[in-house]
Chains A and B, each alone.
Chain A
Amino acid sequence: DAGITQSPRHKVTETGTPVTLRCHQTENHRYMYWYRQDPGHGLRLIHYSYGVKDTDKGEVSDGYSVSRSKTEDFLLTLESATSSQTSVYFCAISKETGELFFGEGSRLTVL
């Protein structure tokens, strides 16, 4: 299963609070991604990383930051959560075949 784990899997928080989602992989893949999934919008890329400390913005990066201090960990941070950030967040890695393999998802609710 490409050894991807996301944590937490579910979180409820209040508007204005900081939130960090963690993605951990065990297979040393170079590329890692954070997507959000919302009804009618499919999956939209938030940020991606192409190596340790190498990250870049995706389509919907406003309000999000990321960090990758180790190959195996890719963190997504919402500095001050808003209700519009209620979503399901998927981490993914890119395999050598080109296939994107997704984690199980983290469901975030911002009240």
Chain B
Amino acid sequence: GENVEQHPSTLSVQEGDSAVIKCTYSDSASNYFPWYKQELGKRPQLIIDIRSNVGEKKDQRIAVTLNKTAKHFSLHITETQPEDSAVYFCAASQRSAGNMLTFGGGTRLMVKP
């Protein structure tokens, strides 16, 4: 089955700096790569996703890049703000398989004011 590795497990940045979280996956058949943000005590919520026919996607301060050849994808957050502090999860799935997501282990992002 699919295996998703996520790095780093913790990341501390100064407000205004950029943050990058990286993930690798093992199953070349995976074609859907979402990112979830989980604030303390809350449910994970989708913040951005990318499909295998796209190399990059942006939404305001958030961008995701995908390299299918190398089987890795990354989340980029620019101009970080204290409210970006949370745990971020990457995931991968084959859309044809009922969208069963395999998650990475998570990255705790701390943005220091």
B43 and A102 contact, CB distance less than 8 A:
yes
B1 and A59 contact, CB distance less than 8 A:
yes
CB-CB under 8 A from B49, the residues of chain A are 98-99
Interface centre among A42, A50, A90, A100 (most CB of B within 10 A): A42
- Chain A interface size band reads 20 to 34
Chain-A contact segment, one of B67-75, B78-86, B97-105: B97-105
B46 and A33 contact, CB distance less than 8 A:
no
CB-CB under 8 A from A40, the residues of chain B are 9, 105-106
A48 and B103 contact, CB distance less than 8 A:
no
A42 and B103 contact, CB distance less than 8 A:
yes
Query: With A and B bound together, what is the CA distance between A104 and B39 in angstroms?
Result: 12
A104 and B43 contact, CB distance less than 8 A:
yes
Q: Which of A42, A48, A90, A102 sits near B100, CB closer than 8 Å? A: A48
Q: Which of B32, B95, B100 sits near A33, CB closer than 8 Å? A: B100
Query: With A and B bound together, what is the CA distance between A50 and B104 in angstroms?
Result: 23
Q: Name B residues whose Cβ lies closer than 8 Å to a Cβ of A.
A: 1, 4, 6, 9, 32, 34, 42-46, 49, 89, 91, 95, 98-106
Q: Name A residues whose Cβ lies closer than 8 Å to a Cβ of B.
A: 31, 33, 35, 40-45, 48, 50, 58-59, 90, 94, 98-105
28 pairs across A/B with beta carbons < 8 Å?
A: A31-B99, A40-B105, A40-B106, A41-B105, A42-B105, A42-B106, A43-B89, A43-B103, A45-B100, A45-B102, A48-B98, A48-B100, A59-B1, A59-B102, A90-B43, A90-B44, A94-B98, A94-B99, A98-B34, A98-B95, A99-B46, A100-B34, A100-B99, A100-B101, A102-B43, A102-B45, A104-B43, A105-B43
